Structure 1
Amino acid sequence: MSRHVLVPIDGSDPARAALEFACEEVPDAQLTLLYVVDPMADYSRQRAFPGYTDEDEYGTEREKGDAILASSHEACPDDATVETVLEHGEPARTILEYADDADVDRIVIGSHGRKGSARVLLGSVAEQVVRRSRVPVTVVRGSDGA
């Protein structure tokens, strides 16, 4: 039985589906909701808006992450043991490092379920986590519209 479950959260439908799954399937586990601020997420903003700085971007992304973590925490049952964490870095690597450092027993992660060239071109955080994780990973698909 999993005692400590990591649920990476990014505000997407698949991430919400993963959180719902974790709450239902392992209700007695400690849940850690992890939001990763990706420094490259809004790189184009710096090119599009003269004067937009790295500090502006990190501030915006931190605020977004805090809001997503807060709303995700509120979606958990009242009796759940939930911790929220915001980290900076490349998402897959940061998720895996956190799982190792925090002695996580299981990762429950959402996936958009992209196929073919979309998966190759865009990459898949869930796929990288599955391939490199030292602990079991459950991948939860979001709705078809995700």
Structure 2
Amino acid sequence: MSQHILVPVDGSPQSEAAFDYVLDNHPDAQVTILHVLNPASTYTYGDDEYFDYEGYQAEAKRQHERAEQLLEEYGETASEHSINFETRLETGKPAAKIIETVEDEDIDHIVMGSRGRSGVGRVLFGSVAETVTRRAPVPVTIVR
């Protein structure tokens, strides 16, 4: 029975490295490639006194289109390597959606990149990889 691996991707060099790791080390695995749109990231459009709804909608649409393009690119690469894969696009808090996907899809292993924040950045923004590592019911491999 082959392993089912979840690879959360965001287009960063670290998520590229995680995806490459899976291609190189798990060629027989079933791979789910996940991108999570975080709607909170578009709330920064405008300032506190004025919320530009049309601007927010345009930015959300742009992010969704970019996410679809990103997943298509990862899917093409997986196909070129004859990897058995599926892609998923979710909306929500990234760490929570990753854990939810593990539970919904019967995932055996998570392989993900880490941006390696430290100090103030890590305290202020947290780490999706750290949260997933603490909460995941399956092994997690972090690639830098």
Give the alignment's TM-score, normalised by structure 1. 0.88
The residue that corresponds to 1:144 in the other structure is: none
Which secondary structure state, in structure 2, belongs to the residue aligned with residue 44 of structure 1?
coil
Percent identity over the alignment? Answer: 43
2:106 aligns with 103
Alignment of 1:35-114 (within 5 A): 35-47=35-47, 50-52=52-54, 54-76=56-78, 77-114=80-117
**1:125 aligns to 2:137 (yes or no):** no
Paired amino acid for 1:43: Y
Structure having the larger proportion of residues in helix: 2
Structure 2: any 5+ residue segments left out of the alignment?
none
Tell whether the 8 Å contact from 1:3 to 1:30 is kept in structure 2 after alignment.
yes
Specify the SS of the correspondent of 1:114: coil
SS at match of 1:75: helix
Instruction: Kindly tell me the number of residue pairs found equivalent between the two proteins.
Output: 141
Contact 1:45 1:52 in 2 (8 A): no
Tell me how far 1:97 sits from its aligned partner. 0.4
Q: Give RMSD over aligned pairs.
A: 1.8
Gapped runs of 5+ residues in structure 1?
142-146
Is residue 6–residue 106 contact of structure 1 (8 Å, CA) maintained in 2?
yes
